[in-house]
Amino acid sequence: MVDLKVNLSGLELDNPIIPASGTFGYGHDFAELYDINILGSFSFKGTTKDERFGNPTPRIAECEAGMINSVGLQNPGVDAVIADELPKLEKVFNKKVIANVGGFSIDEYVHTCALLDKEKQVGIIEVNISCPNVHGGGMSFGTNASDAAKVTEAVKKVTTKPVYIKLSPNVTDITEIAKACEAAGADGISLINTLLGMRIDLKTKKPVIANKMGGFSGKAIFPVALRMVYQVYEAVSVPIIGMGGVSSADDVIEMMLAGATAVQIGAANLVDPYVCRDIILALPDTMKKYGIDNLNNIIGGAH
């Protein structure tokens, strides 16, 4: 018998598989396809203080080994999420969720995190300071160590639940940002968010996406994500949720060897809505194949 359980800052998960924010909505649509209680948890759609329509369309561009999106944090706003989405979610998911929070100022992050911290269904707050698809916020906080620390410190003052800071790969030194967040009180680090990319339509000779650039995700970014998780594991002592191009049980094992305690799966959900379920079902045999009986024993095992 193999042991799939992992622990994120006191929150015990049945397995390390977590659908990533922005690729799983608020869970309802996927609950119509399979019992989502098989998941370790999931990170719900990035939520902001106010309702957002997001960026102008078109927002999606395809690539050979991934996709580019520029949705721009479209969401109904935190009040609607608490009033409408969480009660609906409670009917189909009986575990704690990860609340992903976006913002355009420290005050907005504080407001939204403080409200979600009071919700019983929320187990971890994931603060996204790394969205490349919005102006005046998002990634701008995640590319400067001092700014990242200020957001972390402010959010920690109004929360009681573990706070994980989601970092941008679009920086020179990912470890500098991670260490600043840890020093400011972060309970964990989530990485990586999408890389910045673009496509150009050869017929119109214009960028495919209305916002010109967007977040590049999918299988192609896995080696970059793996490298950054490896680096951050050596730089901090808090748990890491690794993500970026993960699409198989083998990828999960590799990400955990690099230093991740749990693993989020993003773009692969948009290709195959059953991918998280299938990876969980495949994990026991994959573990046996590599002589692993307890996932906790391999976290950071490549160091």
Query: Taking a C-beta distance cutoff of 8 angstroms, is the pair 51, 80 a contact?
Result: yes
Cα 223 to Cα 246: distance, rounded to the nearest angstrom = 10
- Of 259, 240, 246, which Cα lies nearest the Cα of 302? 259
The answer to whether 276 is a known catalytic residue is: no
63, 113, 131, 276: which one is catalytic?
Answer: 131
- Give Cβ neighbours of residue 165 (< 8 Å, ≥ 6 apart): 126, 127, 129, 148, 151, 152, 181, 186, 188, 189, 190
Which single residue is written with the structure tokens 């009040």? 79
Residues forming the active site: 131
